[in-house]
Chain A
Amino acid sequence: MSEDWAKMRDQWLKGSIDKGHREMPEKACGKCENFRQHSASAAGDGHCTVIFEAGVNKVVFDNTDAASCDKYKEIDRIRTDTSEFMWDPTFRPQRQIGEK
């Protein structure tokens, strides 16, 4: 189990460091209901709540391409400026975004 956590950590560390000023794909994890952003950062790091790899949740990022994911479920989002935290579905109630 500890190896799985290590794998998750390494994927996340690598992803966080590599992530750059890139475009958000049309279908992206950050727009999916199953995505949970890691709130210690705003660089879009997070994990998937429904897909597991080696026993732990799959590490994904807000701009991870979800074109081929069959569990993708788009969230309702509001149009907003950057004073609102728009990507994390768990933030919807905070942002007064109505549930589906």
Chain B
Amino acid sequence: MSAVEMKSIEEIEKSGQWWWWAEKKRSPRLDYLRKAVWKKGAKGSGYHPGVKVDLERPLLYTQAFKEAEHDPLIIRHAKALAHVWDNITIFIQDHAQIMGYLGSRPHTILWHPEILFLLNEDLYNDRTVIPEPEEESLKIIRELCDYWNPQTAGAKMFALMPPEEMVKLITGAIGWGLPIHRIGYCTKQWDYMFRLGFEGIIAEIDAKIADAEERLYKRVPEPEEYVYYDKLDIWKAMKITLEAAIRWARRYSRLAKIIAENFETDPQRKKELERIAETCWKVPAQPPEHLWESLQFDHFVQILTRYEACDGAWPARPDYWHGPFYDKDVNQEKNLTHEEALDLTGEFLIRCYEVGWFWLMLARDTLQGITGTWVWTLGGVNEDGTDACNDMTDCLLEAARLVRVANPTFAFRYHPQVRMKTLRNVFECIRQGLGYPSMRNDPILIANAMHWHRHPLKEARRWVHQACMSPCPDTKWGAQPFRMANATIIAAKAMEYALFDGFDQVLQMQFGPHTGDASQFQTFEELYQAWYTQIRWLMDLLARSTGAGRYLAGKFQPRPFLSAIYERCVDLGVDSAHPSERGNSWITFFAWMETGDSLAAVKKLVFDEKKYTMAQLIEALKANWEGYEEMRMDFVRAPKWGNDDDYVDQIHVRCHNDVAAHSWEIKDPTGNPWPPLPENIAAYVTNATKVWALPNGRRLGDTLYDGGCSPGAGMDKKGPTAVLRSVSKIDHVGAVRATLLNQRLSPTQLAGEKGFQIWHSYIKAWAELGIDHVQFNMVDNDTLIAAQKEPEKYPELIVRIAGYSAHFIDLNKKTQDTIIARNIQELGS
């Protein structure tokens, strides 16, 4: 008898080992699919054993790209993509109902050799993912590297950047990511695709082509009409990819039909295969009419865009778009039972979880355990302001508890009218230790989207998470087709540079501007201004390179398929990179909250109490606090964020307001500002070795603060209300694009109905204080420590990192330790 069979549901609930509960509760189909999935996220920073890179896609893409050498660039990429979809091996997994895989076999991860030469060489040097026979594969990879390296988007971009900036960026010391649009976060416009289907979009494109040909070939064009030559190429390329996408989906249809007619002996499965064949014939060519069609359409599109390039995030609002189909099929027409819908939804999550690609070490490390920050948006309001929660919201939340995948995770748009049934469902996910949904304050974020990017109210209400945090409307003019991840700064470096005259202590190079010898500073204001100069320099550098990447993307490596699924791009005849949407830029601030705590400690101990001089501080910092332990403890004990102490909190508020003011002074290619967005993913661990010792008492190598506005681990000594009060002092509309608050709660305190009531009161207080985000870990330390010792017994134990969740056993030990070190808050204290 297995451990699961021995334990009753009640016993499992009591022990908090919810993964056993899930295994017992889910259907045999979901259980099979969940267990059959290959993990594609890295463990620590290496791929799991058995995961191999897929060579079919790069070989097919390259072959067609070479053959089309006399075509315009965008047509070449379109033909290359079409060739992949027409020829790559496809398969249907046993029991599966949703088709579409990124690669030719279930254990493979995709490699896009056209993106970045560094990635290519990284792969060539990798010792784990090269498929057998290794020697032969390495030969193929070498040839592909040699062909693509000089013409990768990365090589083209770097050649244009000022050398000094490029070297500084590539060290990874000041930012994260690279200014390349083939590594983007694409918010998709579902109303367009679901309304027309691909055939409808093709009809629109045909009309555009006919109109362009009329202007160019039937009369003498007006001077401003010559641009239609460019547009013609773009529309033709869009059409090539849309037609190929339909053919690819129909290959699944044919395969399902062949299996059903020739091989399947189980009549039930045969019927399923026949339905799969019908579905894949219909979508994405035509608009969906049933839940199984809308989910299939959605998944096909997500896979198709990832065949074209890496979509690092997965913006989605599945309850909003699939909810009407659920309602029709389950509630009204009774085409499906709730259990059948649950099976489909659970598989929909698993199909997302299994997606993976070969990724730079930098990204594998910082996104330990997952492929990308795939945060799906649930709840919120409709365009008219009414509650948007529906039965699909509940179905997704229920399915998540059954399949317990680490990707996608959910974020819930909370607002005062949210229906109680759904809120309880949200709480149940958190209580069962999923670490998600994270809670987002809907009215605040709607106001925020209107403030920074001028989205009209109705459109702002359509926001989804463009990545893990930033809200972006999924409308024609609001949807941002990609957001390059490199506008991310390691903000604590500005503090380091202010203390060392712009010199990078870790890399031993001059990085920032000269702002003076800090050991000679006589006032706090001198230090503050030095810091402000450094942080502006950092923001400018990242905004400049990202802006250039955005502007040049369409010229370097256009994305015909991505462009074809945006109404704006089809209308205007432009590549998705064209900055004609309303805009949604932001600069992610990693390692942000150390700044205010460091400044406050210096103000108190050096300038107010005069216990130490600046010269002494610089000496101690230079030594990485070694030999200065007593002094370091004074700096550790100085006032810290998260305790409702105005002495330090107001310094943080000033820093926030000043960077927000600067973000209006710099514009992106759409003409919008670059608001700050403090958060950390797992970079608070990986950056620990990139940020030198700081005056908050931190040493080189100590982990950084884990959130965007979270207190330092163990620094919040006055309970959860004091944390909320501190955090509420930040203006969550005007000072940040969003910010991230991590909290750990006690599973015992939150058990049962009483637990829900306590949590609900907390959420109401949090919302009324105007804080935009909070996310919870609700797993006790005993469980975490036990999982460190016997990982095989805790396969689906999930924890929230910062902006994403991961299976605990997929994190490296240091990251695991940081989760254990976070204070557990007793609510109501």
Question: Which residues of A line the B interface, CB within 8 A?
Answer: 1-2, 5-6, 8-10, 12-13, 16-17, 19-21, 36, 38-45, 47, 49-50, 56-57, 81-85, 88, 90-96
Contacts and interface: CB of A to CB of B under 8 A. Distances in A.
A96 to B, nearest CB: 6
A6 B615 CA distance: 35
Nearest to B45: A85
A82 B51 CA distance: 13
A33 to B, nearest CB: 12
A19 B163 CA distance: 20
Contacts of A88: 689
Contact of A84 (B45, B171, B507): B45
Contacts of A1: 164
Contact of B361 (A17, A21, A39, A57): A39
B45 A83 contact: yes
Contacts of B121: 16-17, 19-20, 41, 43
A82 B167 contact: no
B117 A16 contact: yes
Contacts of A56: 167, 509
A9 B165 CA distance: 10
B166 interface: yes
Interface stretch (B122-130, B291-299, B491-499): B122-130
A21 B130 CA distance: 12
Q: Which of A40, A43, A44 has most B Cβ within 10 Å? A: A40
Nearest to A63: B125
A8 B689 CA distance: 23
B365 interface: yes
Contacts of B118: 16, 40-41, 43, 45
A17 B149 contact: yes
Given A20-B142, A90-B689, A93-B689, A42 B163 contact: no
Contacts of B138: 21
B125 A19 contact: yes
A38 B170 contact: yes
B812 interface: yes
B95 to A, nearest CB: 31
Contact of B166 (A9, A19, A44): A9
B125 A20 contact: yes
B303 interface: no
A40 B172 contact: yes
7 contacts: A8-B163, A9-B163, A21-B125, A21-B138, A36-B508, A47-B509, A83-B45
Contacts of A20: 121, 124-125, 142
B701 interface: yes
B50 interface: no
Nearest to A90: B689
Contacts of A44: 125
B360 interface: yes
B324 interface: no
A45 B507 contact: no
**Which 4 residue pairs spanning A and B have beta carbons closest together?**
A93-B701, A42-B361, A39-B172, A83-B44
B686 interface: yes
Nearest to B121: A43
Contacts of A17: 117, 121, 149-150, 155
A8 B508 contact: no
Contacts of B690: 39, 90
A43 B219 CA distance: 55
Contacts of A47: 171, 507, 509
Nearest to A85: B45
A5 B125 contact: no
Contacts of A38: 170-172
A40 B170 contact: yes
B178 interface: yes
Nearest to B129: A82
A32 to B, nearest CB: 13
Given A8-B163, A83-B43, A43 B508 contact: no
B509 A57 contact: yes
Contacts of A10: 163
A85 B361 contact: yes
B701 A94 contact: yes
Given A40-B172, A42-B125, A94-B814, 10 more contacts: A8-B167, A16-B121, A17-B150, A21-B124, A36-B171, A38-B171, A40-B169, A41-B122, A47-B171, A85-B361
A39 B171 contact: yes
Contacts of B507: 36, 47, 49, 57
